[in-house]
Structure 1
């Protein structure tokens, strides 16, 4: 991979060169391929790290790490003040990029300083003094995340996913290698926070090194119009992202506060598998689809067709994989993590179904942002959060399994609502959406029947059971697509073998 001398930002590839239908489709497939490769490598390392740490750390230690990481995740959502999304949407100019850099540096610095000073208050909220120092270590990653925002979004805007892949893999390798090394050396709960901070720093450095365009660091020369443009678009996006983070992680806060660090350790580990195998795939597709939607936002037919195809693919994968993970959970947890994590089995069942429900609503937020209406995401998120918090608090009386089941139910309800709003704003009919998700629902039902049937067989041990269920379900889905949805089957084959 060769990287030439950085060129001025104004010499970036023009949208006209990229908007031809065949070119756009190829760019989307190529982007998904590279981001998918990064996801497989990066999340494979994360999964390996999770397995190693689960066998070296106690649920209590794992829960302490989770308490610190959850709070930092909220702060990281605001670290760039939404300028990463603004750079994709706003006109290309050096002034826009320079003002975005200024905003991200200011916001990252403020949040990092706030984490250092406010760490004792966070530990007091959870009732665990050990959280203070862990949060202070992770404050470094807040500033690193902010510094990476501009080069990352410029690479994404120009669809340079190959370079983003390299940066993502570097971060995963640094985080995983350092975390596991420290865990083996006996550093306990310190291992993952230190590894995370180091990985964030390396990601920021890699993004800047791999960026071919030149971005001026003369941030004291920023015109007010560009500054306002970034804030006008970025703040609603940042608010929407924060609300989304609250929705998807509020269960961590509630469990940590109400049920304690050990319960959170079991819950986090249960969530790790659907997150790595299903939910992060949606993030890959979102990172590819948002810039593509933004390019065709003035072409209604192409936007509608692209959105329906995205919904179809995400529902097919999400529902099938989520249901399959729920079916195999009782055998999979002891195989991967050991018998000490048996309490994570039932929460994993519900959280895998929760991931399936999320797949049915995936893509809606990308459309809202692409057509310049990120405020839709905010209002939907506010309503959803208002419903979710009391439901989760009520569900804590049944422990972490009750919280997981409540997440699944609320998510399923709001997936339907989000798709209804998205269909209305881009002019898609309800029947078209139903046809898009039908293959996923059919394959999910087949996986349920086949997987539960295989689990009743006397196979002797958990590893054989996992292998047999996975093989049988994959074969069943393959047959269902070929016989029941032949055009989709051929399309999937064409995408798989596209060069």
Structure 2
């Protein structure tokens, strides 16, 4: 987690700086067009390797499994890439945005690149080689930022963001294959039917769950793009990006670590229970505080960061920050389902969520993109309860244990948001001054509350970081 956290901070700082620069080089419609194209590619990318990346984390590391995973990933990614090339005009016509088609076709390159990188990436993740993975991720972020900004400055428009994404994907392929400690066996012509069945038997449900998660995560983009247009989507995308960078991506980082760790502990139920409750405590403390704090400072944050042209973003940022706080309370449940060998649970819950979410968000478009944001927050509140209820059942935990784990974080989050909001409402002066004072007040209130309610939390986190299990990764 230290290495993944460092990678996240560096990579997302690069993304934030890039976004701030691009906000002044591009117009909201450019961001909206790329968001539409990325929605389609994100769906395809989530299943491009047929779930073999997750299967390699869960299954024993053998040459037979590695070969089967590589064959599956390459074959299906090639099919998806061809589908993106041929189907791009159809997707563009669906949204009434013909300029989206060439962007989707270009991004098909990233599908194949992601599949090529999936095997070395998953093997390093399985063996907890996060220092190497972090190095590759940092290189990717730098490549995306440099290429996007340089091309945007030349007037390339939305295509600048796409070429930046492609450059990052290609750099990541080279980096993962160069950094993997034991070179995987990729002689796919020697793939055995039994190994292929084992990999796909776990990978297909895992891929299905990931696809549904991506669809749920991006369905608001689809609906806003179709119902409200590219400009509204540009505002919404920018609003979503702030809590995504500050909160949601942090838990994606945590998930990349907890899944392989939970998988290693699946034969020790008590250890798995303790680990899950610890993760809930940490994630609630950070996620709720960051979410409610961001919602409180939104009216002064947007003018300072993005300028007056982006003030409409505030209406969506407040509910989306609350949404991110709620999602943090459910983070980790899917990792438990996969770690105990039941990825199908994620599929079932995601299907239910999608059935509820789509009509809710479509109805919410009556109130513009801000209405969609509030609908997202409401749905997140309902499904936090459902996901944690299932996790408690499969782990054999009581609801009172979960509430005790999350309680300090919930209280600290309320203190953070309340203190920051008072400063924003009562302190006169320039936005930048109000923002600085609000952030300090929120951190002081939240940190003080957390220290009173969970004084040993920081020491427990440091103790977990010091626990290391040296191991030499086996040959693939």
**TM-score calculated relative to the size of structure 1:** 0.92
Deviation of the 1:216 alpha carbon: 2.3
Q: Tell me, yes or no, if structure 1 residue 341 matches structure 2 residue 310.
A: yes
Secondary structure of 2:190's counterpart equals coil
State the match for 2:220 in structure 1: 251
State the match for 1:223 in structure 2: 192
Secondary structure of 2:413's counterpart equals helix
Taking the aligned partners of 1:448 and 1:303, their CA distance within structure 2 comes to 32
Q: From 390, 413, 419, give the equivalent of 1:421.
A: 390
TM alignment of 1:316-335, pairs within 5 A: 316-335=285-304
Taking the aligned partners of 1:404 and 1:383, their CA distance within structure 2 comes to 20
Q: Which runs of 5+ in 2 are unaligned?
A: 469-476
State the match for 2:260 in structure 1: 291
Deviation of the 1:494 alpha carbon: 5.5
State the match for 1:407 in structure 2: 376
Distance of aligned partners of 1:87 and 1:493 in 2 relative to their CA distance in 1, 3 Å threshold: closer
State the match for 1:303 in structure 2: 272
Q: Deviations over 1:321-375 (max 9, x none)?
A: 0000000111111111111111111100000000001011110000000000000
Equivalent pair of 1:481/1:489 in contact (CA under 8 Å): no
State the match for 2:282 in structure 1: 313
Taking the aligned partners of 1:433 and 1:243, their CA distance within structure 2 comes to 26
Deviation of the 1:59 alpha carbon: 1.0
Equivalent pair of 1:294/1:371 in contact (CA under 8 Å): yes
Could you say what the CA RMSD is over the residues aligned between the two structures, in angstroms?
1.3
Q: Tell me, yes or no, if structure 1 residue 444 matches structure 2 residue 421.
A: no
Taking the aligned partners of 1:426 and 1:235, their CA distance within structure 2 comes to 24
Taking the aligned partners of 2:256 and 2:453, their CA distance within structure 1 comes to 31
Q: From 15, 19, 26, give the equivalent of 1:50.
A: 19
State the match for 1:173 in structure 2: 142
Taking the aligned partners of 2:5 and 2:426, their CA distance within structure 1 comes to 35
Distance of aligned partners of 1:466 and 1:409 in 2 relative to their CA distance in 1, 3 Å threshold: same
Secondary structure of 1:456's counterpart equals helix
State the match for 2:400 in structure 1: 431
**TM-score calculated relative to the size of structure 2:** 0.96
Q: Deviations over 1:20-57 (max 9, x none)?
A: xxxxxxxxxxxx00000000001111111111111111
State the match for 2:85 in structure 1: 116
Q: From 1, 5, 10, give the equivalent of 1:41.
A: 10
Deviation of the 1:115 alpha carbon: 0.5
Taking the aligned partners of 1:211 and 1:450, their CA distance within structure 2 comes to 46
Taking the aligned partners of 1:289 and 1:173, their CA distance within structure 2 comes to 26
State the match for 2:100 in structure 1: 131
